[in-house]
Amino acid sequence: MVLCFIYGGISLIVFLLQMNISYREERGQSLFNSSRTESLEFGNRLANQSGNFSRERFLRPQNSFAYPIGYVSLMGSIISILAGISLLDILRKKEKAKITSDIIETMTTPDEKTVLSELEDAGGELTQSDLVKKTNLSTVKVHRVIKRLELLGIIKKYPYGMTNKIKLEKQEQDKK
Ordered by where they begin, the domains of the chain are 2-102 (no CATH), 108-175 (1.10.10.10)
Please tell me the pTM assigned to this model.
0.49
Closest CA to 20 of 80, 76, 75, 66: 66
Give pLDDT, residue 100. Answer: 80
Q: Which DSSP symbol is given to 152?
A: T
pLDDT of residue 40: 52
Measured CA to CA, the distance from residue 42 to residue 14 in angstroms comes to 19
Give the tens place of pLDDT for each residue, 10-58. 878 877 887 777 777 777 665 555 554 555 555 555 555 555 554 445 4
Mean pLDDT taken over the chain: 77
How far apart are alpha carbons 139 and 29 in whole angstroms? 87
Contact status, residue 73 vs residue 14, Cβ threshold 8 Å = yes
Give yes or no for a contact between 74 and 10, defined as CB atoms under 8 angstroms apart: no
Cα(128)–Cα(138) distance, integer angstroms: 11
Least confident span in 42-56, 85-99, 121-135: 42-56
